[in-house]
């Protein structure tokens, strides 16, 4: 493809950095396919993605070229491209602008070592709504990636809703708009502006959500009754041998931010949506099942350490199920991953699904790609159904689901939603 997909990034944190470095890596190594689910989607490869502008609030990122900001602390993702290399997939003029802070920094994040937390920029003025929309338009942005910290509901709404007003397509990587009411309202607004959305709360290519979904789905499809599914996620400093003891840092910024329970509400719901979704999609209710999924442990930082990064995450899964004649099964799994790059591949796919769908005239939430790439999609699907929707879109083929969403949409009742708990009803 000669046409490039122009991307704006709100929140130039570790995930954005991992994505951008990964896109550069596959652009330099075009025969490399390891780590990619879809080398090509509707004719688009990773080398067709271009990052044109960033938004942040951190003093070490605001006002700087995007190519420098992605390496600024507290980002701690692994380096794939050396810091002093020219990154071709970032536009030479791409800069980081200061958005409004709103609820972007949790109070507890202001009380830890500055090298591992956010530092609010106080020198530049923040963009107004109009200035932000104009920047998106003048930079010809196709898609906004929302990478706000968990709990930054107001900040997410500001970036997403203003972008939709500017006619920009959305990939919502964080857990917001996860109730049916909120998702429906956003979809209506998007449809009016002919905007396409993938959301909400990105999964990793192979992370806790994918593993939980596959294990639970395969047990159920084998006729078993899953009565308990516990998914515990840890920022994993304590399992990294001597390294964390020397440098003191035991969690990426995302985990540190989630150390405060009040920030976790939506993230918790979103993670459990993956588990409940696999029951509901098979016509089984939740009665009698014990389900838990959530960021459960962040190892507290030792004061006085030299805080270098660790982006390691560990997930432990425990499942109990009953089968033939009531026989009991117990299944335990452990997955250790580099957290930020694990989300890079799937977002690189979501970007291209979004662009292809938009070229095909599909508006509103992309149900298949949202179910495949996100934890809280508007419509839950089995793993294989979500994948075959994505495969069809990658071939630029409409399906029974997507043909209802080609603009203009004549019957809004065709836009199906399932299983999104009202966020106020939960707990």
Residues within the interface to ligand NAD (CB under 6 A): 10-16, 55-58, 75, 99-102, 104, 118, 147-150, 152, 155, 173-174, 201-202, 204, 252-254, 257, 339-340, 342-343
Q: How far is the CB of 41 from ligand NAD (least distance, A)?
A: 20
Q: Is the dihedral of CA 273, 275, 280, 281 positive or negative?
A: positive
3-class secondary-structure state, position 367: helix
Q: How far is the CB of 128 from ligand NAD (least distance, A)?
A: 14
Q: Would you give the DSSP letter of residue 80?
A: S
Q: How far is the CB of 73 from ligand NAD (least distance, A)?
A: 10
CA distance 40 to 49: 12
Show Cβ contacts of residue 106 under 8 Å, excluding neighbours closer than 6 positions. Answer: 149, 151, 257, 260, 262, 263
Nearer to ligand NAD, 8 or 41 (CB): 8
Nearer to ligand NAD, 11 or 248 (CB): 11
Strands (E), 94-177: 96-98, 143-146, 169-172
3-class secondary-structure state, position 74: coil
Strands (E), 278-389: 290-297, 312-322, 328-338, 364-365
Nearer to ligand NAD, 152 or 381 (CB): 152
Q: Which residue, judged by CB position, is nearest to ligand NAD in the bound state?
A: 13
Nearer to ligand NAD, 196 or 338 (CB): 338
Nearer to ligand NAD, 43 or 65 (CB): 65
Q: How far is the CB of 253 from ligand NAD (least distance, A)?
A: 3
Nearer to ligand NAD, 78 or 398 (CB): 78
Q: Is the dihedral of CA 254, 340, 265, 160 positive or negative?
A: positive
Q: How far is the CB of 3 from ligand NAD (least distance, A)?
A: 27
CA distance 115 to 168: 34
Q: How far is the CB of 69 from ligand NAD (least distance, A)?
A: 8
């Amino acid at each position: 493809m000669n046409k490039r997909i122009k991307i704006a990034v709100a929140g130039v944190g570790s995930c954005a950095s991992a994505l951008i470095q990964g896109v550069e890596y596959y652009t330099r190594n075009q025969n490399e396919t390891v780590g990619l689910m879809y080398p090509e989607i509707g004719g688009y490869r990773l080398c067709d993605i271009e990052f044109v502008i960033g938004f942040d609030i951190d003093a070490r990122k605001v006002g700087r070229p995007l190519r420098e900001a992605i390496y600024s602390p507290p980002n701690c993702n692994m380096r794939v491209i050396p810091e002093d290399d020219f990154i071709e997939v970032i536009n030479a003029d791409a800069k980081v602008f200061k958005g409004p802070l709103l609820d972007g920094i949790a109070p507890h994040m202001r009380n830890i070592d500055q090298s591992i937390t956010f530092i609010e920029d106080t020198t530049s003025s923040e963009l107004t709504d109009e200035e932000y929309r104009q920047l998106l338009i003048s930079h010809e942005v196709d898609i906004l990636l929302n990478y706000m910290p968990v709990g930054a509901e107001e900040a997410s709404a500001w970036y997403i809703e203003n972008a939709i007003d500017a006619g920009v397509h959305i990939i919502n990587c964080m857990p917001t708009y996860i109730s049916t009411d909120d998702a429906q309202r956003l979809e209506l607004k998007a449809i009016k502006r002919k905007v396409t959305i993938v959301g909400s709360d990105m999964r990793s290519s192979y992370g806790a959500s994918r593993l939980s979904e596959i294990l639970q789905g395969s047990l159920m499809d084998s006729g078993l009754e899953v009565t308990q599914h516990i998914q515990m996620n840890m920022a994993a400093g304590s399992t990294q041998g001597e390294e964390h003891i020397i440098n003191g840092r035991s969690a990426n910024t995302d985990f540190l931010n989630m150390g405060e329970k009040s920030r976790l509400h939506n993230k918790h719901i979103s993670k459990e949506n993956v588990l409940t979704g696999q029951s509901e999609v098979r016509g089984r209710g939740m009665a009698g099942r014990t389900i838990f999924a959530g960021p459960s442990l962040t190892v507290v930082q030792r004061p006085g350490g030299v805080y270098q990064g660790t982006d390691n995450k560990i997930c432990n899964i425990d499942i109990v199920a009953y089968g033939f004649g009531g026989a009991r099964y117990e299944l335990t799994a452990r997955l250790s991953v580099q957290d930020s790059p694990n989300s890079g591949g799937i977002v690189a796919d979501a970007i291209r699904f979004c662009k292809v769908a938009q070229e095909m005239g599909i508006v509103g939430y992309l149900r298949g790609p949202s179910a495949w790439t996100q934890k809280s999609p508007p419509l839950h699907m089995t793993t294989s159904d979500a994948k075959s929707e994505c495969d069809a879109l990658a071939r630029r083929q409409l399906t029974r689901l997507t043909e209802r969403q080609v603009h203009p949409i004549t019957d809004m009742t065709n836009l199906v939603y399932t299983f999104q708990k009202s966020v106020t009803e939960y707990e």
